[in-house]
Structure 1
Amino acid sequence: MAPSHTPAPLQGLTSVVTGGSRGLGLLMADRLAARGSTVTLAARDPDELDRAADLLRARGRHGIRTAVCDVADRAAVRDMMRTAAHGRGGIDTVLACAGIIQVAPVRDIGAAEFERAMDGIFRGALHTSLEALPYLRESPAGGRLGLIGSVGGIVAPPHLLPYACAKSAVGALAEGLHAELAKDGVSVTAVHPGLMRTGSHLQAEFGGDAGREFGWFSALAGAPLVSMDAARAAERIVAAVERRRTRIVLTPAAKAAAVLHGIAPAATTRLTAVADRLLPAPTGTAGGLRKGRDTPPPAHPVAARLRAWGSALGDRAATAYNERPAAPRPQHR
């Protein structure tokens, strides 16, 4: 007798991905849809959302919806969840991935950059979690919540301090929610990726000596021996949420850093101080962050070559994962 077909755990369920219009969020949405889940992509840019939905549908993914939503606005998140649940019988899986990356020495940023990081990353994850919980508790399949932190929230890297602070808070939120929601049948997975080749170097914001900051960041984010293929990372994250794992750390370098920090936190902090000496010096002028795609080329030829090499490594991912801005529409007279 042929074995009976067992549906995948996420087949026929309803999912929401915040930050789902590009990069890792888009790739996780693809993996959810591939498992037979209907998916709502939530992000702030409607044009970006439309392109993301078209990319997924071109891959044969069905049941894709989009919702324009700023996750820093809790009321907007509440409305988005209500819309996502409408006609679907509720919401079963939620992945919170929205956020921003700011790269600059702390002397070249102000409190506003920390506040923006907390709004977009931590408060975004908090609002998403709180507004999703009523639906996840009622899910017949048992709700699943995945919060995307970062190894940068475990070991704070220099020149990424606002990002690291916000991601650290997301990690604490995930651990606390896991403890409190287990009795409700809701699983919470804390996800701590290392560097991934998503093309995010074009969307990240850079300050200080912006051209050189872009150079080192794009080089590390695109280097195959240091960073991870983003599609592979997305598959592992969705599989971890599907299996209700408590925590997942991605990339060997991230795992090593997390273990070292747990065993010898003082030594780890001293190593990050050494790394800081290799990075561009502060300019001493706060403010003026700009997107990676808008940063000027560095004057030093070695830095310029590093920038060109690093950017080239991530450019293919940027195109594939909707990280590039749309081409201007032709003007008709």
Structure 2
Amino acid sequence: MFSTDRSFPDGLCALVTGGSRGLGLLTGARLAARGCRVTLLARDADELDRATAWIHDRTGRNVRTVVCDVRDEAAVTSAVRDTAEVADGLDVVIANAGIIQVAPAEVGGTAAFRDAMATIFEGTLHTSLAALPLLRRSPAGGRLGLVGSVGALLAVPHLVPYSCAKAAVRALGEGLQEETAGSAVSVTTVHPGLMRTGSHLQAEFGGRADAEFAWFSALAGTPLVSMDAERAAEKIVRAVERRRTRVVLTPAAHAASLAHGVAPALVTRVSGLAARALPTAPEADPAGAGTMKQGHFLGDLSQPRWRQALRRAGSSLNDRAAQRYNQQRPGPPTSA
């Protein structure tokens, strides 16, 4: 199931944030299968316990876990340093923690932007700055991987806070790669497109939440549009392993990135047309402003029938992914 490619030297110390489920869980498993001593960071202790058992069952290897909120700079710095002390060094770090909020920008309001920036960008920043001094001392040459998104390359309607935060991660990755050029440290920024990780159950939905959940879960689970999460995790680990600077995953993400680079105004207009098909923002309701619902509580759509049909048509693979990759229970989102 997992690659045992040993182009990584055996016994490297690796740390993955947002490692309790989804893409982070799969990335940690692939590092463990390559012989790395892996530490997973996430907010939920129960999820981390399940993640430990999940990886052991599939790789035969044990991983270390630390309960840590990446929004807390002091906690991240402590977790990174403790990991290096336990393992006598730090060689590989994958900054993956994040949240997904699906709603018109005006519905989530400034709170949604603050939450996205705090978890996605600041969490990545805290991890990177804490890890870099230790990665510089790695005998194997440190490797830092930042998980961005196609949303970092062009804005995605109804995912604007997410896009803004991922765009900041893209800039951080490019800047750190430039500043570490010529050193033994490499910085790899990976921009996946849609992946079948089961993250629709952990995502937060606002406005007409049922309708937002229907289109997002269907699109994220549709073959050809979305990517198998296990393939995505393998490509991320290989990119970090080979010290690539930037990687864009999925043909759709490649095409969108290229089109936006060549004709950004045209792509923005086309995205605007697509946005017209998305649920409209409800009338302003001060009492409910900024209210978001987690996908776990929207999975059983009882009305109307077209929403049920839309969701079932595209999301069955994503629902199965949620069961496989530890996304099945409610909890604070920590990995996308």
Q: TM-score, normalised by structure 2?
A: 0.93
Tell me the distance in 2 between the aligned counterparts of 1:68 and 1:308.
Answer: 35
After TM superposition, list the pairs within 5 Å mapping 1:1-333 onto structure 2: 7-284=6-283, 285=285, 286-295=289-298, 297=301, 299-325=303-329
Tell me the distance in 1 between the aligned counterparts of 2:302 and 2:138.
Answer: 52
Gapped regions of structure 2 (runs ≥ 5): 332-336
Corresponding residue SS for 1:86: helix
Superposition deviation, residue 315 in structure 1? 1.2
Tell me the distance in 2 between the aligned counterparts of 1:163 and 1:87.
Answer: 34
Superposition deviation, residue 101 in structure 1? 0.0
Q: TM-score, normalised by structure 1?
A: 0.94
Superposition deviation, residue 301 in structure 1? 1.7
TM-superposition CA deviations, 1:186-228 (whole Å, max 9, x none) = 1000100000000000000000110010000000100012000
CA 1:130–1:60: 2 relative to 1, 3 Å: same
Letter in 2 for 1:294: F
Tell me the distance in 2 between the aligned counterparts of 1:172 and 1:274.
Answer: 28
Superposition deviation, residue 313 in structure 1? 2.6
Tell me the distance in 1 between the aligned counterparts of 2:154 and 2:86.
Answer: 43
Corresponding residue SS for 2:40: strand
Corresponding residue SS for 1:59: helix
Q: Is the 1:212–1:307 contact (alpha carbons within 8 Å) kept by the matching residues of 2?
A: no
Tell me the distance in 1 between the aligned counterparts of 2:250 and 2:11.
Answer: 31
Q: Is the 2:23–2:197 contact (alpha carbons within 8 Å) kept by the matching residues of 1?
A: yes
Corresponding residue SS for 2:59: coil
Letter in 1 for 2:320: R
Superposition deviation, residue 312 in structure 1? 2.5
Tell me the distance in 2 between the aligned counterparts of 1:40 and 1:276.
Answer: 40
Tell me which of the two structures has the higher relative contact order, counting C-alpha pairs closer than 8 angstroms and 6 or more residues apart: 2
Tell me the distance in 2 between the aligned counterparts of 1:189 and 1:141.
Answer: 16
**Match of 1:3?**
none
How large is the RMSD of aligned CA atoms in angstroms? 1.5
TM-superposition CA deviations, 1:235-264 (whole Å, max 9, x none) = 011000000000000000000000000000
Q: Is the 2:55–2:62 contact (alpha carbons within 8 Å) kept by the matching residues of 1?
A: no
Gapped regions of structure 1 (runs ≥ 5): 1-5, 328-333
Superposition deviation, residue 326 in structure 1? 7.5
Corresponding residue SS for 2:214: helix
Letter in 2 for 1:323: Q
Corresponding residue SS for 1:71: coil
Tell me the distance in 2 between the aligned counterparts of 1:309 and 1:301.
Answer: 12
Q: Is the 2:202–2:330 contact (alpha carbons within 8 Å) kept by the matching residues of 1?
A: no
TM-superposition CA deviations, 1:149-169 (whole Å, max 9, x none) = 000111111000000000000
Tell me the distance in 1 between the aligned counterparts of 2:170 and 2:203.
Answer: 21
Superposition deviation, residue 41 in structure 1? 0.4
Tell me the distance in 1 between the aligned counterparts of 2:170 and 2:302.
Answer: 35
